Amino acid sequence: MSGLSPVPATTGSLHVPGARLHYESRGDGDPIVLVGAPMDADAFAPLADLLASDHTVLTTDPRGIKRSPVEDPDEDSTPEMRADDLSRLLHHLDVGPVAVFGSSGGAVTALALVQAHPEQVRAVVAHEPPLEELLPDREQRRLATDAIVATYLSDGPGAAWARFLADAGLDLSEGEGPAALPSDPAERDPREVADERHFFLSQLRATTHWQPDLTALRVAASRIVVGIGERSAGQVCDLTATALAAELEIRPARFPGGHTGFLEDTEAFAARLREVLGYR
């Protein structure tokens, strides 16, 4: 990123029902919230650094991930719960209405936030939300997700990730999934292992099986941008994002890169995000 220096971040934590939410704030100006699931605040740091030149940028570790511990590790992490966490954080920091950029599962969280708390949201960019319930083959998709979870439990994370990536149509060689995993679990970071378990057992089904309130989202449609990566054609999240845009009768916005375009070419992605948010 052209030698960009990291922007100092102020960190904090907020007790929310059943969890403690880690958050970070950078910069000053109109607020933008960057939301992932399962991606944590660190994954968004490069994008946050670029946007912090003229915005207050908030990032979090979603509940159950990294520095946001939960009281019950076996409890599902639903989009409604994660949206409530964000709503409480915005109240705590006394900011809003905000622009929200959500990626993948974080895009589902962002949609749940504008659905439940529209007064807190100026705009939402939902980048490739995996809303599989909007697809005509939703029943087969549910079975595929169940098979991924079963594979994780029976054969471990390597096999589960391979099945997940194949089902989603993501390409590991293009940086769209995790790096190769050590065969010996003892060689891995325990926090990474715990986060992975939370994703497969508590977050994956709850996110992909979420059924949005399309009536509520249509009311807010003028504030919603559905983003799709230029390299995502034919992938599941291209299909789900396209289906959502059709339901809301809006045109999808194309972004640089693929499913994780904000990591692939952060400068180009930041420029496009500013453009669709009207900050350019």
Domains recognised in the chain with CATH numbers:
10-137+209-277 (3.40.50.1820)
Quick check: helix, strand or coil at residue 150?
Answer: helix
- State the average pLDDT over residues 70-96: 97
The per-residue pLDDT for 279 is 75
What 3-state DSSP class applies to 67? coil
Rounded-to-integer distance, Cα 42 and Cα 71, Å: 23
Q: Does the pLDDT at position 19 exceed 90?
A: yes
Distance of alpha carbon 69 from alpha carbon 72, whole angstroms: 9
Distance CA 151, CA 181 (A): 15
How far, in Å, CA of 264 to CA of 171, rounded? Answer: 13
Q: What is the mean pLDDT of residues 27-33?
A: 96
Tokens of 207: 């996110």
Task: Assess whether pLDDT exceeds 70 at residue 26.
Answer: yes
Q: How far is CA 277 from the centre of its chain?
A: 18
pLDDT, position 277? 94
5 pLDDT band, cuts 50/70/90, is confident
What's the mean per-residue pLDDT of the chain? Answer: 93
As a whole-number percent, the residues of the chain with pLDDT over 90 amount to 89
Q: Give pLDDT, residue 2.
A: 45
Contact 58, 101 (CB under 8 A): no
**What average pLDDT does range 203-222 have in this prediction?**
97
Residues in CB range of 56: below 8 A, 6 or more apart: 25, 26, 27, 28, 29, 30, 31, 32, 95
Cα–Cα–Cα angle for 216, 221, 227, nearest 5°? Answer: 120
Distance, CA of 111 to CA of 224 (rounded, Å): 8
What's the token pair of residue 229?
A: 């990566």
Percent of the chain with pLDDT over 70: 93
Instruction: Note the pLDDT of residue 172.
Output: 56
Instruction: Check pLDDT > 90 for residue 84.
Output: yes
pLDDT for residue 6: 85
Res 178 pLDDT > 50 = yes
**Are 160 and 181 spatial neighbours (Cβ–Cβ below 8 Å)?**
no
Q: Is the pLDDT of residue 174 over 80?
A: no
- Which of the two residues, 87 and 170, has the higher pLDDT score? 87
- 3-state secondary structure (DSSP) of residue 131: coil
pLDDT score for 7: 85
Decide if pLDDT at 53 tops 60: yes
* CA quadruple 224, 24, 82, 270: dihedral sign: positive
Tell me how far apart the alpha carbons of residues 248 and 33 are, in angstroms, rounded to a whole number: 22
Q: CA dist 95 to 34, 83, 194, 246, 279, Å?
A: 14, 15, 32, 31, 18
Strand pairing class (121-127; 224-229): parallel
Degrees to nearest 5, angle at CA 125 with 8 and 270:
45
Please check the confidence at residue 181 and state whether its pLDDT lies above 60.
no
Q: Span 153-166, mean pLDDT?
A: 95
Element holding 207 (H helix, E strand)? helix 204-208
What end-to-end distance do the CA atoms of the chain give, in Å?
Answer: 19
**Top-confidence residue, 183 or 213:** 213
pLDDT, residue 173, reads 54
Half-sphere exposure of 95 (CA within 13 A, CB side): 18
Reply yes or no on whether the pLDDT at 146 is more than 50.
Answer: yes
Cα–Cα dist 113/213, whole Å: 11
243 confidence band (pLDDT: 50, 70, 90)? very high
- pLDDT of 215 above 50: yes
Q: How confident is the model at residue 170 (pLDDT cuts 50, 70, 90)?
A: confident
